[in-house]
Amino acid sequence: MSEKGMQKRKWQLTIALLIIIAITYLSAAITNFNFMDGFAAFPEAIGWMFSNLFITQESLERLPTILDKLIETIFMSIAATTTAAIVSIFLGIMGSKTTSVNSLLSVFARFIASVSRNIPVVAWALILLLSFGQNSLTGYLALFVGTVGFLTRVFIESIDEASPSAVEALTATGATYFHIVNKAVIPQSLPQMISWILFMIETNIRSSTLVGILTGTGIGYTFDMYYKSMNYNAVALVTFSIVLAVIIIELMSNYIRKVIM
């Protein structure tokens, strides 16, 4: 890069920084958020956490129930993700420029992707709560819908970048559409798709806690129950087991990623 270009970039950075500071200050002013008060509350909050959120012998007795709910939650997340993945593979193939068969279906796939992605999972849970009521189906559907949106979008991208040139080559040999999808598109983009599916399983386990609080299912409901009955030791145990589960799942999926890539 030239001397002049460097100078220009420095200036741009400085200006960007100033703008960010201005926006921060402005939003704090608008919301009446006082930085000093915010910081001052820290020691007290942390003190409260240490004196209330620890795991006791008594709360450990609840471990079997908690684990039960945790496993239920994990399986629901996996089920929601994998079923969503199946739908998304289809939508992804329809939506990608290299493999779409019909422009109407393509638009439809992209529409689904953008609509369900731009509505957060929590909002889906609340919307679905109205029509399906408070049960585990609602939780499942909320995760499912959000996941379909996200996976469809990333699958479209994976397919788009994976194999347009190979698709051209196979078309030139006289291969059929299904040959091309099965022998070029899927093999080339599958590892990346699996990686996204694993990512979504992790994400869904995290969000299913929140969704569970809203829909009254799984570990989220357990958390909510102990929280409302002020059994903070049990709350600590629940939180701890969720964190542990997420870490384990993450380690597992990182390992799988390494193997398949």
**Which residues contact other proteins by CB under 8 A?**
163, 165-166, 168-176, 178-179, 182-184, 187-188, 191
Q: Which is nearer to other proteins, 10 or 97 (CB)?
A: 97
Q: Minimal distance in Å, beta carbon 150 to other proteins?
A: 24
Residue 83 near residue 144, CB atoms below 8 Å: yes
Q: Which is nearer to other proteins, 191 or 216 (CB)?
A: 191
- The enclosing H or E element of 99 equals none
Q: What does the alpha-carbon distance between residue 143 and residue 204 come to, in Å, rounded to a whole number?
A: 7
Cβ–Cβ contacts within 10 Å for residue 95, how many? Answer: 26
- Tokens standing for residue 107: 């638009």
Which amino acid appears at position 215 of this protein?
Answer: T
Place of tokens 């291969």: 175
Q: Minimal distance in Å, beta carbon 261 to other proteins?
A: 10
Which amino acid appears at position 200 of this protein?
Answer: M
Instruction: Please state the separation of Cα 30 from the chain's center in Å.
Output: 31
Q: Minimal distance in Å, beta carbon 258 to other proteins?
A: 15
Rounded to the nearest 10 degrees, how much is the dihedral formed by the CA atoms of 95, 97, 99, 103? Answer: 60
Q: Minimal distance in Å, beta carbon 190 to other proteins?
A: 8
Place of tokens 């920084």: 17
Q: What does the alpha-carbon distance between residue 142 and residue 156 come to, in Å, rounded to a whole number?
A: 22
Q: What does the alpha-carbon distance between residue 212 and residue 205 come to, in Å, rounded to a whole number?
A: 10
Q: Minimal distance in Å, beta carbon 171 to other proteins?
A: 7
Q: Minimal distance in Å, beta carbon 172 to other proteins?
A: 4
Residue 120 near residue 146, CB atoms below 8 Å: yes
